[in-house]
Chain A
Amino acid sequence: QQQVKQSPQSLIVQKGGISIINCAYENTAFDYFPWYQQFPGKGPALLIAIRPDVSEKKEGRFTISFNKSAKQFSLHIMDSQPGDSATYFCAVHSGGYNKLIFGAGTRLAVHP
């Protein structure tokens, strides 16, 4: 059962452009929605996270938009830079269980 659907699988953006990655979830009991960034050979690192009581959260160039009724949330990277090239994973925290469920990942390439 795929509890978190992430799209697109891969994304190519020009430097300075906006990168948008989307996730959809099924279970309304999820209560915490983080985005993780992973560079090759490294562990996932938390980028930004949101809780369901707000619709948007912005930290620097990174913004999460959250649509509770549609059960969707997205990551926007403004002014994308080559250093942003990485794999991005959305995740949900299972409300009744103590674990993160990850999306399949989006490989982002920002071309100079």
Chain B
Amino acid sequence: EPEVTQTPSHQVTQMGQEVILRCVPISNHLYFYWYRQILGQKVEFLVSFYNNEISEKSEIFDDQFSVERPDGSNFTLKIRSTKLEDSAMYFCASTPRRENEAFFGQGTRLTVV
């Protein structure tokens, strides 16, 4: 069964450092997303990406965040200067069409110290 894969599974970084979280969406999917989940809380939308551009972003997704699809398979989330409050699970998701089942990856646990 096809799946969304994310690397690394756990990332520890110092406050102020840049991190890049990587995702390989399902190969025939066209829409890509990043969500985050602070420990014990709900899943929050960050950004959606289609046709090589951002189609929607939340208030959380400020200038410190950026996304990129550098090649035909990877989809990355970059946080330029991490803050303690960026500590969370970050989930990548993809869908084949706009209003369809979103397949989520296993997540990257980001810990900012």
A32 surroundings in chain B (CB, below 8 A): 99
Interface flags for A71-98 (1: CB within 8 Å of B; 0: not) read: 0000000000000000001010100011
Do residues A99 and B48 form an inter-chain contact, with CB atoms below 8 A? yes
- Is B75 an interface residue when CB atoms closer than 8 A count as contact? no
Number of contact residues on B: which range applies?
A: 20 to 34
Majority SS at the chain B contact face: strand
Category for how many chain A residues contact B: 20 to 34
The answer to the question of B105 belonging to the interface, with a C-beta cut-off of 8 Å to chain A, is yes
Which of B35, B43, B50 has the most chain A CB atoms closer than 10 A to its own CB?
Answer: B43
A101 touches B45 (CB 8 A): yes
Contacts of B102 in A (CB 8 A): 34, 46, 100
A98-B56, A102-B42 given as contacts; is B31 within 8 A of A46 (CB)?
no
- A100 contacts which chain B residues (CB < 8 A)? 33, 35, 43, 45, 102
Query: Chain A residues with Cβ under 8 A from B31's Cβ?
Result: 98
Q: A32 vs B99: C-alpha distance in the bound complex, in angstroms? A: 7
Provide the B70-113 mask, 1 if CB < 8 A to any CB of A, else 0: 00000000000000000000010100001101111111000000
Q: Decide: B56 and A97 in contact? CB cutoff 8 A.
A: yes
Q: Report the bound CA distance from A31 to B97 in whole Å.
A: 14
**Does B18 reach chain A (CB closer than 8 Å)?**
no
Kindly state whether residue B44 has any CB partner on chain A within 8 Å: yes
Task: State the CA gap A46–B45 with chains docked (Å).
Answer: 16
